[in-house]
Structure 1
Amino acid sequence: MAQDLLLEEDSSQTSASTTSLPERIRVKNRRKRYLDQTPDYFGPSLELADPLMYDRLIRRFQTPAEREAEGRKKGHSGVLEADLMRSEAKVEALAHPDPNATFSYRRGPGGEILAEDKDEVPRTKEEGFARWKYEMEMRFMRGDDDDFDYPGVDDNEMWDDLEEEARGKLESYLETESPRWVLGDGQQPEGETGVQDY
């Protein structure tokens, strides 16, 4: 899983003293940091992003008490909206199956709706949540959440990881340095910088 985004170096903007991140990397780093700092993003309202996936990976493991508690958080209209969107998504998936989808709904021999192959079913609640969270993270990182204000994160320095950027600048600087002899008190070379003498 793409848990940590690596900083990339843009050689056209690199000098010995400073490193500037390409804008696309800076944006992805800010989005990742936002998700790390805002776990509420993955709340029940995110079900509407992909009702079928939520149904497959989250709802199937919920107890009646958990569904009731989630329903209270959403409110009556939120529950109705989620049920309506899930039903419409199932009808659409049956009418127009997507061959490129990771799973698809289809009619079984008795007319029942079959959602997935047996090997695609998560075995535990934790596995289902991890798969759902990963898919939602990737969706967010691509910028596919139409209801989210991306410029509020993408253009905000508050979401920069200053330690990580400083580490990247230091690594870039050290890569441009070449070993040189260190002169001792008697002006005799004693070793090279960057090389440990054992």
Structure 2
Amino acid sequence: MPHFPKDSGFESKNTQSHAITVKNRRKRYLDLHPEYYSADLELADPLLYDRLIRRFQTPQEREAAGKAMGFSGILQTDIMRSEARINAIAHPEPHAIMSYSRGPDGEILAEDRDDIPPNKEEGERLWQWEMGLRFIQGNDPDFDYTTVDENDEYDDHSDKVDQYFEDEEPEWVVSDTPGGDTRPNLQGETGIQDF
């Protein structure tokens, strides 16, 4: 393989192309594995999960989720949620989807009512959008990205289909009768400009 100087631009284009391929593979993974958005993902951002998903759950849904997690899972989630609340107030992020402030009784509140989705479906859509974006950017520390990033099974195969059709030679059929004359007998406008 030829060696290109770093300032030639070839290396940066190759790196950029690889980064795009990796992001496309991660997106394809999410499309094929919707179970990634399971309740286990709550630990990735407990406060966001509370605002977008948990607030719309019925008591029966919360109980079922608690049983699925077990006592230690519930305890871990509660601890992480409390730590996240303290951290959200101590270090507010200016570009976060939701920001928090301390209420009159010490409770943690969203600063703006517009931060709260109007219904369960919108909350789930926002949750999947945010978690999908984090996944594509490589910000899930519990996921082994090499299983996706280095797997060409997650490549978009529409490129291969496009290449197949580009490589095909067009066939011209002039006669509709079997065994008829297949030589082109073109008359009139041929599409060739003769000026």
Same fold per TM (> 0.5)?
yes
Which letter does structure 2 place at the counterpart of 1:148? F
Q: C-alpha distance in 1, partners of 2:103/2:186?
A: 88
1:80 to 75, 78, 86: 75
Q: For residues 96 and 23 of structure 1, what CA distance do their matches in structure 2 show?
A: 34
Task: Give the TM-score taking structure 2 as reference length.
Answer: 0.74
2:117 alignment partner AA: P
1:190 aligns with 2:190: yes
Alpha-carbon distance in 1 for matches of 2:148, 2:49: 25
> Which of these two proteins has the greater Rg computed from alpha carbons?
2
The answer to whether the aligner puts 1:138 opposite 2:133 as a matched pair is: yes
Identity in percent: 54
> What is the alpha-carbon root mean square deviation over aligned residues?
2.6
Unaligned 5+ residue runs, structure 1?
Answer: 1-11, 13-20, 175-182, 193-198
Match of 1:121 in 2: 116
Q: Within the alignment, does 1:47 sit opposite 2:66 as a pair? A: no
What letter is aligned with 1:68?
Answer: E
Query: What one-letter code is carried by the residue in structure 2 that aligns with 1:191?
Result: G
Name the SS of the counterpart of 1:114 in structure 2: strand
Instruction: In structure 2, list runs of 5 or more residues that go unmatched.
Output: 1-9, 11-15, 168-182
The aligned counterpart of 1:166 is 160
**TM score, norm. by length of structure 1:** 0.73
* Contact 1:184–1:190 (CA under 8 A) maintained in structure 2: no
How many residue pairs match? The answer is 163
Instruction: Give CA deviations for 1:119-159 in whole Å, capped at 9, x if unaligned.
Output: 12101001001000000000000011111010110101221
Q: Which amino acid aligns with 1:142?
A: Q
